[in-house]
Amino acid sequence: MKSFEYIINDPEGIHARPAGLFVKEAGKYASKIMIGKDGKEVDAKRIFGIMSLGVKKGNTVTLRIEGEDEDVAAAALEEFLKQNL
């Protein structure tokens, strides 16, 4: 299992467009990918789950990746967050 934390820098937080892009990126991997904030954790491959977290600028999200391609998925998703959020 891989996990890491990331502080959101986007002024609008995780809104619909980047959430959709994130879901698309997460969907490329076979691993189970969860994203959480403040003790609530949701499936990172479901846009409504991500939107329900209400992530704003400055919030810390935790990603937990578990599965056969977890190393590649963790690296790619961390890079996605840095580039987009």
> Active-site residue numbers?
15
**H helix or E strand, kind and range, residue 61:** strand 60-66
Q: Beta strand pairing status for 32-37 and 40-43?
A: antiparallel
Distances, alpha carbon 47 to alpha carbons 1, 68, 78, in Å? 22, 23, 18
